[in-house]
Amino acid sequence: MNLMADILLNVLTAFLVGSMLLGLHRKVVARIQMRPGPPIIQHLLHLLKFYIKESSFPKTATMPFYIGIAIIFMVIWVSAVIAGPVTQGPLLITFGIYAIHKIVEHNAGSSSGSPYGKLSCVRAVFSAAGEMPLFAVFIIIYYRTGTVTISEIIHYQSINGSLLYTAPLAAFMYFILILSKAQYAPFAVTESTDIVSGYKTEHFGMLRGYFMIADSIMWYMLLWSFLMVFIGTMSPILYIIGMVGITVGVAFISAITPVLNPNHSVALQIIFAVTGITGSILFI
């Protein structure tokens, strides 16, 4: 297939599947809390509604950075799709994008001039320490497989079996990372409701729709990377089942736990990281 067509198809798939999964996340959270909740396509409808809505830019916003950061948010997740499903290139690019996501949260918050955005910006810097497990996962995968290229990791798993069984603590740490990026989750300190919508508070109207498109791609990519790195190649149906399973698991945790205090959130993530690293070294 033509590379450009492949990229467009993968970006579109990531967007549609990601937005449906985020809708499912909200639905499951609502059902666990004994509420009917929105329909599963609500995230998609919401996103389209915002996308055509009038936008006015706050006077306190730092232009053109206020719009530029929204573009960077989309750029990093489109890049993740290219580095992941399209080319199956180096894992380091995918993991680096997760780290850049924190910088986007920080700058989106600070560019708006809103106190909620600024608070979220401070929390993004603070919670960057929570990305520590990511590098531990990266090192463990390298020690296990001897490679950091996604296609070679998949090949390794087709011969030696799934990494989920041989490096379960790395998989657990990666799951914690997914959890930290989910809305309403205990580690979602940058966009919790106590600071309205955090770094997205002042990005409303069309720009919010744009952020939500990037959010959908992000969610798909987080789940795709988990399944690809820790389970390996499967049929598309099994991928969808895997993504639905992880989303439901994350939604269940989000529904029954409150958002943690930022200090506790970071401390807990670091404890998970230290446990995971120590345990993995002992396993190796």
Residues that bind other proteins (CB under 8 A): 2-5, 7-8, 11, 51-56, 58-60, 67, 70-71, 74-75, 78-79, 82, 87, 113-115, 205-206, 209-210, 213
Minimal distance, residue 59 CB to other proteins, in Å: 5
The tokens for 17 are 């599947």
Fill in the DSSP letter of residue 24: H
Minimal distance, residue 49 CB to other proteins, in Å: 11
Minimal distance, residue 201 CB to other proteins, in Å: 11
Q: Name the residue nearer to other proteins (CB basis): 7 or 125.
A: 7
Q: Name the residue nearer to other proteins (CB basis): 74 or 240.
A: 74
Fill in the DSSP letter of residue 56: -
Q: Name the residue nearer to other proteins (CB basis): 77 or 174.
A: 77
Minimal distance, residue 239 CB to other proteins, in Å: 22
| Residue 37 CB burial class (10 angstroms; 0-12, 13-18, ≥19) | middle
Minimal distance, residue 114 CB to other proteins, in Å: 7
Where is 232: in which H helix or E strand? none
Q: Name the residue nearer to other proteins (CB basis): 51 or 126.
A: 51
Q: Which of 211, 216, 217, 218 has the alpha carbon at shortest distance from 50?
A: 211
Q: How far apart are CA 194 and CA 123, in angstroms?
A: 12
Q: How far apart are CA 283 and CA 159, in angstroms?
A: 20
Q: Name the residue nearer to other proteins (CB basis): 95 or 210.
A: 210
For residue 64, count other CB atoms closer than 10 A to its CB. 11
Length reported for the chain: 284
